[in-house]
A and B are shown apart, each in its own frame.
Chain A
Amino acid sequence: MRTIINQKADSPALPELRNLGTVLRVLLVVNAVALVAVFARESRWEALADAWVDTAAIVEPHLLVGVLVLYVLAPWLERLPYQTGAVAILGLVLLVTLLLDAALGKLGIDVGPSGLLRHALLSLLLTGVLLGYFYLRARALSPAIAEARLQALQARIRPHFLFNSITAVLSLVRTEPRRAETALEDLADLFRVLMRDNRQLAPLADEVALCRQYLDLEKVRLGERLQVDWHVEKMPGDALVPPLVLQPLLENAVYHGIEPSSGTGVIGVNIFLRRGEVHAILRNPYKFSGNHHGGNKMAVDNIRERLALHFDAEASLESRINRDSYEVHIRMPYRAAQQEDERV
């Protein structure tokens, strides 16, 4: 399982070398350091631009090739224990530096033996600093992941849903005992997921199954008022997603879109894979009236935060209000569950 930060609190992990967030941070830090170096070396303002161009001509090729090599070797590197991995990365960066300098030498830009040594030391130093930065960042964020579980618990399941559902189940017990049984089983499954440790990513198919059980329960309560339009044929069921990334949004959809109206309302669920990204679009009817409760923002903020913790810049959540509907669009990187992954 790969996430931008380490999921087991005790053992450090390498940064995720293929994550957009990691790559952006590396590019930014290295360029910032180069800029500082240029400022420190060049005292004349008018010469700054030239000095920057000279420096960039050396720094950028090293940087880009280095990032690219690490990107390519990421799957192998990330399987190594932390220390070995860190040493391997340092070694790779050193190798890239030396090979590039040799190649540049062939092109007539000879840096000389002292230049070679300087480049080697600089790239090792910078890589070390970056590894240290990512290590500290992971350390700083891992309590946040633990926190995310707590938040997840708080932001989900309005108490009124539980008590109204129990009332609905009770109304079935005497007349339709079999439906009551199914409803109680759904309720048990739902709460099993709610109460477990939700820090690990889980397959999308599981999340969708949970959503169906949840909506079945709501249907017992709301009857014909609730209609659901599923479009999940093109969904990658094996994609790993944060647990409870969709269910709270559906709960919002029911609360804000179905309950305020005595008529029938349709909730649309559309999940598909496009260009290596999982898209989930949820839509519900929405009529602005001052009469109904707010509180929608909390669930949305909570999910956005958890997406950022798991996927950094590679995931997003956007919501918008159309003329008579409310729509949430989630975008996540497609990461397939591997067979050896432990399934919950």
Chain B
Amino acid sequence: MSDAPLKVLIVDDEAPARRRLRELLDDCAGAMPLVVVGEAASGREAVGLLGSTPTDLVLSDIHMPDMDGIELARHLLKLPVPPVLIFTTAYHEHAIAAFEVHAVDYLMKPVRVQRLLAALEKVPRLKPLTGARLDRLPAAARRFLSVTERSRVVLVPIEDVIYLKAELKYITIRTAEREYLLEESLTKLEEEFGARFVRVHRNCIVARDAIRGFERHVSAEGDAHWEVLLRDVAEALPVSRRQQYIVREIGRGDDV
């Protein structure tokens, strides 16, 4: 066993569940050195804490408001040294079956102290989850996109995103305030968020509710093309010839 105590973060939206886990961790402290470095009531809070608190192990509930445990796991991958994550859940449903198949660790609530201790003892040997394994878990669309900035994870709520644009190696996330750089695939993002975005160009998807209207431009050579006008940002994005049908489909071509 290593000499430094294991640093544990508890994530659960229900206060009694967090308190219970803390009691059980206290019980385990006699058998192995550990310290509870914090508690969070949602995945979102946990991401905030993890930026400033070095943590070895996250014990996280799955179903939580704001951000669930599986989404939390995805954002943790962006940390320079992702902690080990063990899910706690009261549900016995299809998600659990997927956990079994993909060797994702979990504890059933109510948690037994023996099981918890066994899990804790395994932690130094456990590898952090990988994106590939997480991809196979049944998950709803994320509520946030996450980018790493100065070794911290920054969350961008998906409803703040105005457009996503692929540029060379990165994707630019545009919100009303600023831009972020994301290392993901635009096609996958389009699949994940489905109806929220509409593709206007081979390299760009735009949030439907950010579309203010469309404008037709005729260049000096006489070529005409449409541009999509957006709320909160001044720039207009070109609509490619192949995607021109969306101008009519969204039906706001006459607004401007």
Residues of A within 8 A of B65 (CB): 259-262
Residues of A within 8 A of B17 (CB): 164, 167-168, 171, 221
Is B241 an interface residue, CB under 8 A from the partner?
Answer: no
Residues of B within 8 A of A221 (CB): 14, 16-17
Is B63 an interface residue, CB under 8 A from the partner?
Answer: yes
Is B218 an interface residue, CB under 8 A from the partner?
Answer: no
Is A81 an interface residue, CB under 8 A from the partner?
Answer: no
CA distance A291 to B62 in the complex (A): 13
Q: Are A223 and B15 in contact (CB under 8 A)?
A: yes
Is B133 an interface residue, CB under 8 A from the partner?
Answer: no
Query: Which chain B residues numbered 1 to 30 have a C-beta less than 8 Å away from chain A?
Result: 13-17, 19-20, 23
Is A323 an interface residue, CB under 8 A from the partner?
Answer: no
CA distance A164 to B23 in the complex (A): 16
CA distance A291 to B91 in the complex (A): 17
Residues of A within 8 A of B68 (CB): 291
* Distance to closest chain B CB from A182 (angstroms): 14
Q: Interface centre among A166, A260, A291, by most B CB within 10 Å?
A: A291
Question: Contacts A221-B14, A262-B66; is A160 near B140 (CB within 8 Å)?
Answer: no
CA distance A260 to B109 in the complex (A): 19
* Distance to closest chain B CB from A59 (angstroms): 59
Is B110 an interface residue, CB under 8 A from the partner?
Answer: yes
* Distance to closest chain A CB from B124 (angstroms): 27
* Distance to closest chain A CB from B99 (angstroms): 16
Is A113 an interface residue, CB under 8 A from the partner?
Answer: no
Query: Which chain B residues numbered 72 to 127 have a C-beta less than 8 Å away from chain A?
Result: 90-92, 108-111
Q: Are A164 and B90 in contact (CB under 8 A)?
A: yes
Residues of B within 8 A of A223 (CB): 14-16
Q: Name 5 interchain pairs, CB-CB below 8 A, sorted by A.
A: A160-B63, A167-B20, A168-B14, A171-B20, A172-B16
* Besides the known contacts A163-B90, A163-B91, A166-B109, 5 further A-B residue pairs in the complex with CB atoms under 8 A apart: A159-B90, A160-B63, A167-B20, A171-B19, A262-B13
